[in-house]
């Protein structure tokens, strides 16, 4: 049972594009029990979980992370091979969003509170980083934690002269063993906040401090972690995160707020709350609520149930993503026709050759140092094998 009398921590597992689950879960925390995040001693994460952990530790808006994640998924869906296409550079997109959105003092806010899980390439041991000397250093640590070999590239990023890869490969749930740690994971298992399913489970798999049950739902989630689903599906994952977090808060008895319906996504007016609070009589308040929050319109591009209970800013981001996906331009609708799609696939080898050549030319300035590192790594592996 969760104990509020002693210090507590929050730990997030790596999960790729299904980290939209964390947006729903922690928006519930911020809405119903904000002190759980504000008072946490350590907020730790691995891979994509470290990005959300950084958002929470620094105090950024979750809707901004949600918008960036949906934009990243939209960029991946532009290519025929999705994230596997050579032209899709996941790490560059993550770096650009971090450089744009992180405040100048992000490293000061994160130091001592944010713990990022990394895996050292040389000995495959886990390293937890919690001290950051600059914003650029914080970004580099987060990039190292998100670098999944082959999926993100061939040469791992460097932090303090050492190559690191995805922290989930050595410790996917940092501080899992510490007392009073709230573990959050979008895969059904034994985490505090996770999906609970009635489907048949073949086996429970536990590795790198993460509990994952073998079932068809988790298999689908693993695929979506690497290949981003449609915005409608991501909205449903976000809603599931909110409801799972709400269930945890109720069972732990730590809720401080009461349930209240939120406004619809597109009809929300920022000034509505202030105007309603300023009203003196109940009749005036009722009238203002009717004027400032009119009945929601039917949005055919998004199922209303998939964003039910979510905070209004998150609803608006998800609604806009689904609307943009379904609206599209005349050009995108024409190119979806079967004959044109077949022609485009015939030119796929040429497109791949061009993309690979372009990435190779961009790699040329760093080739000497990278080749020296690969040679040294191969030599170390040979020496260890000989021993």
Please provide the DSSP assignment of 4-24 as one string: SSS--EEEE---GGGGHHHHH
Place of tokens 């808006």: 61
Q: Which three-class secondary structure state does DSSP give residue 344? A: helix
CA distances from 10 to 3, 22, 155, 184, 253 (A): 13, 12, 31, 8, 17
CA 316 – CA 313 distance, rounded (Å): 5
For the record, the structure tokens of 79 come out as 């290519």
Residues that are catalytic: 47, 166
Q: In 10 A of CB 158, how many CB atoms?
A: 16
Please provide the DSSP assignment of 279-328 as one string: --SHHHHHHHHHHHSPPPPP-TTS-GGGGTTS-HHHHHHHHHHHHHHHH-
CA 191 – CA 211 distance, rounded (Å): 7
């Amino acid at each position: 049972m969760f104990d509020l009398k002693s210090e507590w921590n929050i730990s997030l597992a790596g999960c790729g594009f299904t980290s939209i689950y964390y947006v729903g879960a922690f928006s519930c925390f911020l809405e119903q029990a904000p002190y759980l995040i504000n008072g946490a001693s350590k907020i730790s994460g691995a891979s994509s979980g470290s990005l959300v952990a950084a958002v929470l530790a620094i105090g950024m808006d979750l809707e901004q992370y949600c918008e960036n994640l949906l934009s990243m998924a939209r960029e991946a869906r532009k290519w025929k091979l999705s994230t596997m296409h050579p032209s899709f550079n996941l790490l560059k997109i993550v770096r650009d969003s971090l450089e744009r959105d992180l405040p100048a003092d992000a490293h000061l806010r994160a130091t001592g509170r944010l713990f990022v899980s990394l895996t050292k390439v040389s000995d495959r041991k886990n390293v937890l980083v919690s001290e950051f000397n600059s914003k650029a250093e914080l970004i580099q640590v987060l990039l190292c934690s998100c670098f999944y070999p082959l999926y993100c590239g061939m040469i791992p990023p460097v932090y303090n002269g050492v190559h690191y890869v995805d922290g989930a490969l050595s410790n996917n749930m940092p501080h899992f063993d510490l007392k009073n740690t709230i573990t959050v994971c979008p895969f059904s298992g034994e985490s505090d906040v996770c999906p609970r399913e009635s489907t048949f489970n073949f086996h429970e798999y536990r590795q790198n401090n993460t509990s994952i049950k073998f079932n068809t739902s988790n298999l689908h989630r693993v695929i979506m972690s690497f290949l981003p689903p449609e915005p409608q599906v991501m909205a449903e994952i976000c809603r599931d995160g909110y409801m799972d977090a709400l269930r945890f808060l109720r069972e732990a008895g730590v809720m401080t707020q009461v349930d209240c319906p939120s406004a619809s996504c597109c009809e929300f007016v920022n000034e509505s709350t202030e105007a309603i609070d300023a009203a003196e009589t109940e009749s005036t308040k009722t009238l203002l609520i009717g004027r400032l929050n009119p009945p929601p319109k039917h949005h055919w591009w998004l199922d209303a149930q998939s964003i039910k209970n979510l905070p209004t800013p998150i609803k608006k981001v998800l609604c806009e993503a689904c609307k943009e996906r379904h609206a599209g331009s005349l050009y995108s609708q024409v190119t979806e026709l079967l004959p044109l799609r077949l022609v485009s696939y015939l030119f796929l080898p040429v497109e791949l050759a061009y993309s690979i050549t372009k990435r190779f030319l961009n790699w040329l300035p760093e080739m000497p140092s990278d080749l020296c590192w690969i040679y040294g790594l191969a030599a170390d592996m040979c020496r260890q094998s000989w021993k």
